[in-house]
Amino acid sequence: MEFYRSRKVLIVALLGLCLIVAAAIVRRARAGFVANASFADRTPEQPPYVAVARAKRGTIANSLSIAGQFLPYQNVDLHAKVAGYIRQINVDIGDRVHKGQVLAVLEIPELVAQVDEAQATVHRAEQEIQRGQSDVLRAEADHVALHVNAARLVNAAADRPGLIAQQELDDATAKDRASQAQVDAAKSALAAAEQQLAVAKADQQHYSALNDYAKITAPYDGVVTWRFSDTGALVQAGTSTTSGLPIVTLAQIDVLRLRIPVPESLASRVRIGDIADVRVQATGEHFMGRVTRFTDSLDTSTRTMQVEMDVPNPDYHLQPGMYADVHLDANTVPNALTIPIEAVRRSDDGASVLVVDAQNRVEARDVKLGIENSNIVQILAGLSQGEQVVIGNPGAYQPGELVRPKPAALAISEGGSTAK
């Protein structure tokens, strides 16, 4: 019995010893964890991340999005040159006509009479010339006969003095001179008749030209966009101070002018040949155009410059008055070195950027800027292709600071088609 009691005491003692050892192990493990945590807290701080973008080469341009309007290439109101009644009108609105086609014919009776009178005057002048030519021939023949007679008498008197009376010699010489004067007078009359013929022909051409204006013809291929007169209507001469309505309006639309107002800020940068992306609102058509001409002056009321592009329209599917959305790239520079516009710091002294060098340290760099748009800016000097610039918040970093560069999601590629 005593044996079993001693054995029970020994077991209890062993269990107590095991509990003490376990408690010691737990305390030691906790102390090691705390020591390790304190060591981790004492490691150096990592450099901050910084968003960067590389300088790349691509095409940059000043971009403008604006609404433009299609206009006829030519548009003219056709008036009558002379007053008269419309005998017939051959076209109506919407008719397509060709250059030289007769659109209307006027009835002008008094002009026809003037043409006939001018023709008669020409015939009379021609007859006067014929008569003058005959007078010249007759006068020259008389002069030849009288001149020969006078020369014979003079020679005879010289050979045999006293044979011919002096009075007879004087009469022959006088008749010779008078006949010469008659020749000169006949030639002068002939010259006057020739001048009168020239005047008569000029009058005839004048009235014939006016009579030709009785036919109203198309000056170019186009479409009749409006008709103002009907058969029998009296139309006034377009050159008179009381000129009335035109006969028709003719527009050339096989080529259209796309006119856009460019604001003052971009007017000086527009060049002939600049490319524009055009979307026609009414038809949904999309095509590329080029600047053909511009006014090179600003409208004082709107402070804009009118810029035009010629748009071929052979099938007339585009109509004057339609609107188009135009995206114009002005002052395009190919192969330009560009960076995001967010990377530039501006001041009164100029522009600068923060560059991350090969050792991942920040470096301040002065740069010279070129043209820019809403996304990117051209660098003329101060950077090389491939260098990394800080974007987003360049004022948060100091020159010489160690950073960890991270390519930004917003980089030059977001400039769209302006830089590649």
Span 26-75, pLDDT tens digits: 555 454 443 343 333 434 578 888 888 998 998 887 778 899 999 999 99
Residue 307: Cβ-neighbour burial (10 angstroms; 0-12, 13-18, 19+): buried
Domain count, the chain: 5
Q: Is residue 208 within 8 Å of 201, Cβ to Cβ? A: no
**The CATH number of the domain where 381 resides is what?**
2.40.420.20
278 and 369 together in one domain: no
Lowest mean pLDDT among 147-156, 258-267, 315-324: 147-156
Q: What is the SS3 assignment for 89?
A: strand
Instruction: List, edge to edge, every strand of the sheet that includes 234-235.
Output: 215-217, 102-107, 84-89, 234-235
Highest average pLDDT, of 234-238, 247-251, 366-370, comes from 247-251
CA pair distance 203, 211, nearest whole angstrom: 12
In the predicted model, is pLDDT for residue 89 greater than 90?
yes
39 and 181 together in one domain: no
In the predicted model, is pLDDT for residue 2 greater than 60?
no
CA pair distance 127, 139, nearest whole angstrom: 18
Q: What is the pTM of this model?
A: 0.60
Neighbouring CB atoms inside 10 A of 416's CB total 12
In the predicted model, is pLDDT for residue 82 greater than 80?
yes
206 and 262 together in one domain: no
Q: What is the predicted pLDDT for the residue at 412?
A: 42
118 and 153 together in one domain: yes
Report residue 387 as tokens: 């260098």
Q: What is the predicted pLDDT for the residue at 248?
A: 94
H helices then E strands: how many in the chain? 4, 20
Q: What is the predicted pLDDT for the residue at 157?
A: 72
Mean pLDDT, residues 339-354 taken together: 88
33 and 69 together in one domain: no
154 and 186 together in one domain: yes
Report residue 346 as tokens: 């501006």
Give residue 295's pLDDT band: very low, low, confident or very high (50, 70, 90). Answer: very high
CA pair distance 344, 394, nearest whole angstrom: 8
pLDDT single digits (tens) 168-209? 777 778 887 888 888 888 888 888 888 888 888 888 888 888
Residues of the domain holding 8: 1-43
pLDDT single digits (tens) 116-130? 888 888 888 888 888
CA pair distance 121, 142, nearest whole angstrom: 32
